[in-house]
Amino acid sequence: MMNPNFFCFRRMPSMLRAVALAAGVLLLACAARAEQLGEVSTVFKLIGPNHKIIVEAYDDPKVEGVTCFVSRAKTGGISGAVGLATDKSDASIACRQVGEIRIKEALPRQEEVFSARLSILFKSLQIVRIVDAKRQSLVYMTYSDKLIEGSPKNSITAVPVGKPIPVK
């Protein structure tokens, strides 16, 4: 007679594969939000990667035809290599029309559009979209925040839409 637990152990690898595949798809979906376009080294580190400025592109998920380009500092060295470093709060943003602008749904007057982790626990870079209905423009602002205290360093840019913007 076959052991009833044999079937469970035999199915385990396929279950683990399914879980790993689902986790991979989830990570890929999260990673798809930012596309790294380039980087420049700013400080040479003998051990670990150099300090850098990276340039990333973010496509607005609710506004087709708008991409935000962000440059920000990335800390290198050993702590940067293992993910324990805290990146600086300095960032610059430029959002541009890269195609025909199509707004998929009514937009809130203000909404966090993107977020990127700058430290292992406490610090993140935020990109917020603000609708300026009167001027038919979308204003994007980037800043960093911490669990306790954020940074007043920020950068803004605006994209003229040229037609009424549906607002919630």
The strand pairing partners of 148, in sequence order, are: none
Q: Which residue has the tokens 């293992």?
A: 82
- Residue 163 pLDDT class (50, 70, 90 cuts): very high
Q: What is the pLDDT of residue 33?
A: 72
Which residues, in sequence order, are CB contacts of 88 under 8 Å at separation 6+?
72, 73, 75
Helix (H, G, I), strand (E, B) or coil at 15: helix
Digit-coded pLDDT (tens) for 107-127: 999 999 988 765 555 567 889
Q: What is the pLDDT of residue 24?
A: 39
pTM: 0.69
Q: Which residue has the higher pLDDT, 84 or 38?
A: 38
Q: pLDDT band at residue 160, thresholds of 50, 70 and 90?
A: very high
Q: Which two tokens stand for residue 89?
A: 């709060």
Structure confidence by residue, pLDDT tens digits, 24-46: 333 333 333 789 999 888 776 67
